Amino acid sequence: MSNTALITGASAGIGEEFARVHAERGGGLVLVARREDRLQALANAIRGEHGVTVEVVAMDLTKSTAPKKLAARLEELGLEIDVLINNAGLGAHGEFHESPWSRQQQMLQLNIGALTELTHLLVQGMVERGRGRILNVGSTAGFLPGPLQAVYYASKAYVNSFSQAIANELQGSGVTVTALCPGPVATEFQEVADLGGVKGFDFAADARSVAEYGYRAMEKGRLVAVNDPKLRVLLEGILPFMPRRSLLWMSRKTMEKSG
């Protein structure tokens, strides 16, 4: 039985660590991201360390045509995907009305559009085969509104909700869906999203621990996985009872920059 995982955003951060975790378990890989040089370097390292098959597909998933092109490429390669890890994501810092629309549009296409379309394209084969696992990287940000990252937080709310809904629809099919909802993670995402100095990243987790936690949760077929116990208490035991304005104030404070 094959065990091939397709991982988006695989060139760095959590995506790279997901690839290493899957390869350590003997699974083959399809690595997807924009930067082909980074993907090739990772693929070569994983092949050398674990002797698994690794395919590289350099593709910009912020383009609306990319998911179908990726599915066509998989067909050309004759690959069936057993594990889909929708990890790629974009963020941006600042007030919505002052932010370039092009950045917000890319964020919506990648965080929501590509994730949803790839899931739709690949889950059908999983259901036909009676097996498969999907891991969507949401965020604890998806549990509350996010001033100074309004679109990012909203996009992750979509991921968290969408993942749980289709997990319910797929019960009994042999296909599971897990939403991984980490808090801040120390990756290059912080730099790309202009989050340097943001207070909420003072205690960021490392990418490897988050990937391992998420992968284990996926293996168990868990519905929602929050890696930080303190955040679980906050999300489940405190935030639901906070007045809305107080919640927004707290959320904004975590996204403000020091100094």
Positive or negative torsion for Cα 134, 137, 141, 147: negative
Q: Which of 152, 158, 213, 215 is catalytic?
A: 152
Using CA atoms, how far apart are residues 246 and 253, in angstroms rounded to an integer?
11
Verify whether residue 213 is a known catalytic residue. Answer: no
Helical (H) or strand (E) element with 122:
helix 115-129
CA 208 to chain CA centroid, Å, is: 14
Which residues are identified as catalytic? 152
